[in-house]
Structure 1
Amino acid sequence: MQKNKSEADPEEQFCSNPDCPDYGKKDAGNIVKYGHDKNGKQRFWCNTCESAFVETKNTVFYNRELSEDQIIMVCKLLVEKNGVRAIERIMGIHRDTVSSVIEGLARHAREVTDFLIKNIGLTEVEVDEMWSFVKKNKRKLPKEARKQMDRAIAGST
């Protein structure tokens, strides 16, 4: 699922530098497009802290040799209860690479859960119930809400 370069919107990005006063603030007017990296990913520049970052920073897709489509396929195969070796055979990628993607997914899922518990004040039971509800009702949501949810589950903002 390669993004079209014209889709990358500075207003949808936020500074990924935790030391920046505008860290985590979308549409603060501080982010501008800043060319592309060697893999064609859109780069951005924060005018506040004067640092550059790529559009996939802080996502499971960041700094990966696999394409976004391949990572998404690993996710789909995991959901279908395939093991690491089965995914290796199906996709023709080394099991260490598959394991690395799974570790990245787990890390992002833990970060979302930690955020909901520490910053929002939910209990672990409430977070579990929320994800169960979301999973059951995802198809009933508007297309844009499903898209945002998919991005959040992938670790993107």
Structure 2
Amino acid sequence: MTPIPSLPACPNPACEQPHVIRNGSSKGRRRYECRGCGRFFGETEGTPMYRLHTPVAEVAQALLVVMRRGSLRAAEEITGHKYETIGEWLRRASMHAEALTAILTQDLHLSTVEIDEFWSFVHKKTEPPMK
């Protein structure tokens, strides 16, 4: 018997009695409805993947290359995605640092040093240039 995947939480912070149910799919992506507040949302809402058209595996690979090589240009050459696109993925990742750190630790089995180097690089690349 396969376990039932957990449903995402309602993204509406004002929702007082969240009760999320599945509500079909759109363009191949699962949709949900909160019966508490009536809001409809996708499975990636509130994540760095929200409204991205690139598959999760490709984004993860590009960010992993950036982390390991320390270079957006290297990630561009290896993955075939534009430098600016990978930079945008880094900015999105930095806004969700806590959750992504947990994923990097659990799913990718990265060491604390590797994760620290990654966030140092992200911080350096997402700072506005000095004038």
- CA gap of 1:90–1:74, structure 2 versus 1, over 3 A, is same
Aligned counterpart for 1:33 among listed residues 3, 22, 25? 22
1:36 is paired with a residue of what secondary structure?
strand
With normalisation by structure 1, the TM-score equals 0.58
State the percentage of identical aligned residues: 23
Shift of 1:34: 0.7
Alignment of 1:1-157 (within 5 A): 9=5, 11-22=6-17, 30-38=19-27, 40-109=28-97, 112=98, 146-147=106-107
Q: Which runs of 5+ in 2 are unaligned?
A: 116-131
Paired residue type of 1:85 = R
Aligned residue pairs, count? 106
2:88 is paired with a residue of what secondary structure?
helix
Aligned-residue Cα RMSD (Å) equals 3.0
Give per-residue Cα distances to partners, 1:55-103, cap 9 Å, x unaligned.
1111122111211111110121122033112111111111111011000
Is the Cα contact below 8 Å between 1:35 and 1:42 reproduced in 2? Answer: yes
With normalisation by structure 2, the TM-score equals 0.68
User: What is the rounded CA distance, in whole Å, between the counterparts of 1:84 and 1:61 in structure 2?
Assistant: 19
- CA gap of 1:83–1:8, structure 2 versus 1, over 3 A, is farther
Runs of 4+ displaced beyond 3 Å? 6-9
User: What is the rounded CA distance, in whole Å, between the counterparts of 1:19 and 1:32 in structure 2?
Assistant: 18
- CA gap of 1:55–1:95, structure 2 versus 1, over 3 A, is same
Paired residue type of 2:51 = N
User: What is the rounded CA distance, in whole Å, between the counterparts of 1:69 and 1:100 in structure 2?
Assistant: 16
Is the Cα contact below 8 Å between 1:8 and 1:42 reproduced in 2? Answer: no
Q: Which runs of 5+ in 1 are unaligned?
A: 1-5, 23-27, 114-130, 139-145
